[in-house]
Structure 1
Amino acid sequence: MSRKILVTGASGWLGIAIVQALLARGDQVVALDLRSSPASLALATRHPELTLAEADLGEWSQVVDVFKAHGPTAVVHTAAIVGVVLAADVPIKTLRVNTEGSINLFEAMRLHGVKRVVHLSTEETYGDFTAPVITEDHPQKPNSVYGLTKLAAEHYGRVYTDRYGLECINVRTCWVYGPNLPRARVPKVFIDAALDGTAYHLTAGGDLAVDQVYIDDTVAGVLLALDKKNHRFDAYHIATGQAPTIDDVARFVREFVPGANVSTAPGLYLHGDRFPTARKGALDISRARQELGYSPQYDLRAGIEKSILEARAERTAKRAGGIGP
């Protein structure tokens, strides 16, 4: 029997991938965002079991209206202002969206008897890693506005779990990548340069070791957390359990695009050339393996290869349609 899953941030890069995965297995989906994207509108024309809803999570009355109108049975919460740089540039808006929006969502769930929400959280809630590989019990001491607001949302979820019986499950992922990554960061910057035949040199940060997870594995982990009948824990790492370097990314791009002129230099990695990164590493995925049956399908090399294949196919399709160069 299918369920009706509300997906917030459903027009975003990760949100729409989750919507597609839910539809593929037969769930009814309510796709919520500030506005429906062309991709969401196109998806809705092919899937009558998909309902599009437009609302601002920061507006309490709009959130309640969505629950009244559509009656979801569970929630996947991806809506957020994402990223260290963007969140730092609009800190008040980030608080309103990431934290206040989550509170409005939890409160609407409480009032309408909806128990489970899977919240997309981040390794930024930890701040500096104190070891090369960390578990979910690592101290959470964020040093970015983004990490701080996501940690606040986690803690509010714990209050609603303890006081009202909600099941607020946090999926902490790391640097998610894949086709059509909407931000100009690794590995997109390397792949785009390689396929464009232009040079790209990262002047510092090549020796940064960080868990990088392909989007398909992220989606799979989210659905496993959504489906698990009884949770003993409220947080899971959905990543790879490995920490390749940024230079490894460039090396794999050069492997799959012969002649690619992409490279790195060691030194402190800066988000957006402005904000020093927190100390990173790998996320231990033992809990997700044991509790959820999670098993990532893509190591970095395989994920980079697929990202390049997808990017090439998209460029070919655009040229065939007379779009772009």
Structure 2
Amino acid sequence: MRLLVTGGCGFIGSNFVRYALREHDDWEVINLDKLTYAGNPANLRDIEGDKRYRFVRGDIADRELVNDLFRDGLDAVVNFAAETHVDRSILDPSPFIETNVKGTQVLLEAARNHDVKRFVHISTDEVYGSVMDGRFTEESPLRPNSPYAASKAAADLLCRAYHISYGLPVVVTRSSNNYGPYQFPEKLIPLMVRNALSGLELPVYGEGLQVRDWLYVEDNCRAIGMVLMKGRPGEIYNIGGGSERKNIEVVKSICRMVAERLNRSPEDFTRLIKHIRDPRGAAHDFRYALDCSKVRELGWSPQVTFEEGLARTVEWYLSNRSWVESVITGEYLEYCRRVYAA
């Protein structure tokens, strides 16, 4: 299979590229990535010499570049490329519309014109909004509450339209909160690990009672691979870890794990927790939860418990501090100043 992976230098994308090449000897991967602040070619340095792997720097919204890649002949597309952080979308929604909506449409049109056999679009549970009780199914209405979630919902609807209007074999996955190695440290888990190691405050929005379902990134990659091979065109597949935790519980678990690893007291780190004003306001969804029955019918289930996955993740960040510091830029530090100001 000749596979185009967009956003393959990002967190989930790089883990998926590595998974695809490890699990499928007959797959060839072309990685198209714009290399924004969260896209890092170092994430895939260990496979740069693999003859089945090719990196192309570019924007999915660049029609000419995208069409050139499709002319070379592709069997399938997995679209990870996206602006993904809610806080950034509130500060400036424009890049989210450009990449998540326009970029997705450019890819869909190229796939339609070049007879691609499968198009997997990677979405998020945030398109559903928040749920106090029960779980979202793939039939639940879309009620996005942030510019980020709205841009992803728009892209999902474009995928549906291309399937209905043109018969394009599109499949959409909506996953819960991913965590694991190579995640940019603006996200909760890597941010808390980095700040704890640096003796910095651990910023928690409000009381930290927001509930998220945590999914280890390798489990998500396995699910995406299964959907790519077995998913039904036109369908949506929810992918969740079945591990709901309050944010404050996650932060305290990180403090405990870092303390154990460094042979220190957990109180050395829990005292750094600072409850701050929530810049998201009403856009901060309280709880996400997914019904994953449909993807389980394909034979998938999560293999990594939250406790095991979090321990692996904390250990990875502790063992790769140079990677963490290498991705920190002036832009990122300014962004943190703006968002986390008390």
1:296 paired with 2:302, answer yes
1:235 paired residue number: 236
CA shift for structure 1 position 54: 2.6
Match of 1:306 in 2: 312
Q: How does 1:113-262 map to 2 (within 5 A)?
A: 113-197=115-199, 200=202, 202=204, 204-228=206-230, 231=232, 234-258=235-259, 259-260=265-266, 261-262=269-270
In structure 2, C-alpha distance between the alignment counterparts of 1:33 and 1:245, rounded to whole Å:
33
Aligned to 1:285: 292
Cα pair distance change 1:263/1:67, threshold 3 Å: farther
Quote the residue 2:5 is aligned against.
7
What CA distance in whole angstroms lies between the structure 2 residues aligned with 1:34 and 1:203?
A: 31
Aligned partners of 2:129 and 2:285 also within 8 Å: yes
Gaps of 5+ in 2: 260-264, 326-342
Question: Unaligned 5+ residue runs, structure 1?
Answer: 320-325
Question: Which of 21, 39, 42 in structure 2 is aligned with 1:39?
Answer: 42
Q: Is the 8 A contact 2:204 2:275 kept in 1?
A: no
Aligned-residue sequence identity (percent) comes to 28
Contact residue 122 and residue 172 of structure 2 kept, 8 A: yes
1:204/1:264 contact within 8 Å kept: no
Question: Is the 8 Å Cα contact of residues 204 and 265 (structure 1) preserved in structure 2?
Answer: no
| Helix, strand or coil at the partner of 1:46 | coil
Displacement of 1:190 in angstroms is 2.5
| Residue 253 to residue 159, structure 1, CA distance change in 2 (3 Å) | same
Residue-by-residue CA offset, 1:176-235 (whole Å, 9 max, x unaligned): 11123203232223222333455535362422111121111121111111111x517611
Aligned residues: 313
**Residue identity matched to 2:288:** G
Q: In the alignment, which residue of structure 2 is the partner of 1:323?
A: none
Q: Displacement of 1:131 after TM fit?
A: 2.5
Distance 1:139 1:131, change over 3 A: farther
One-letter amino acid of the counterpart of residue 175, structure 2:
T
Letter paired with 2:118? R
Using the TM superposition, name which of 241-250 and 118-127 deviates more. Answer: 241-250
User: Counterparts of 1:318 and 1:64 in 2: how far apart (Å)?
Assistant: 35
Cα distance 1:41–1:14, how it changes in 2: closer, same or farther (>3 A)? closer
Q: TM-score, normalised by structure 1?
A: 0.86
Kept in 1: contact 2:18–2:47 (CA 8 A): no
Quick one: structure 1 residues 86 and 275, their matched pair in 2 at CA, closer, same or farther if it must change by over 3 Å? farther
The corresponding residue for 1:322 is none
Q: 1:315 offset after TM fit, Å? A: 3.6
* Cα pair distance change 1:265/1:16, threshold 3 Å: closer
CA contact (8 A) 1:247 1:263 kept: no
Native 8 Å contact 2:138 2:236 kept in 1: yes
Alpha-carbon spacing, 1:34–1:192, altered in 2? closer, same or farther (3 Å) = closer
SS of 2:188 mapped into structure 1: coil
